[in-house]
Amino acid sequence: MDQRFQATCPICSEKRTFVAPDDYASCRDGLKAIGCPLNDCVTRERAAAAVLFSMFSREQLKELRVHEAAPGGRGLSLWLWYNITKKVFSGYYPDKPFGTMVGHIRNENLEAQTFPDRCFDLVVHLDVMEHLFEPFKALAEIFRTLDFGGICIFTAPTYPERTESEQVAFQSSDGVRIVGEPEYHGNPQDPSGSLVTWRYGYDLPLLRGARGSTSR
């Protein structure tokens, strides 16, 4: 039976009726608002927006230099697209030169970015970390591109009852080595999807802290 309730969306600030097919498993990707004007945004996008708007007013955000990696074309990504002037959206196209534009998307490898130091005030990436071979190298690169006082907001899925994170795909000179059955997630820039390289557990905040970054 569908689960329904009313709440205010933190992105559009409108009171809406939210619907999910059940009260647990589908809430991450299946909990959506009826008549959503932001292309059916999902829970992680609303959660990231709630954090973002608790730290900056909407007017303050409009003045920031913003980088979003792998924009989803809905939810918070759409809000940033329509409201931020000094923005860069990036995606990963390994067959094209990095640092060049592919349509309105800048081609970037998050683990070796072409951006100069301290060029952004805010970096956003939602459910990207589980598709990187070296996610903590990417976080170090993001830190390099953030100006003093800059903020990075991101989401990464954790697996139920998994206490320790595990890398399940490795890149080498011989190609990609996959541990177990390959898993793919949707990719807004590639209809064939993205390989899952890490399965994160509840230790993810500890892993970030151990590598010198500060988390909230």
Could you tell me whether strands 169-172 and 175-178 are parallel, antiparallel, or unpaired per DSSP bridges? antiparallel
Q: For 94-174, where are the E strands, in sequence order?
A: 101-102, 105-107, 120-126, 146-155, 166-167, 169-172
pLDDT at 207: 73
Residues 6+ apart with CB under 8 A from 106: 88, 89, 90, 91, 99, 100
* pLDDT-flagged residues of the chain (< 70): 25, 208-216
- Rounded Cα distance between 188 and 133, Å, is 19
Per-residue model confidence (pLDDT) at position 210? 47
Q: Give the per-residue pLDDT at 100.
A: 98
Is the full-model pTM beyond 0.85? yes
Query: Which domains are delineated in the chain?
Result: 42-162+165-210 (3.40.50.150)
Q: What is the pLDDT of residue 213?
A: 55
pLDDT at 208: 62
> Do residues 111 and 133 touch, judged by C-beta distance below 8 A?
yes
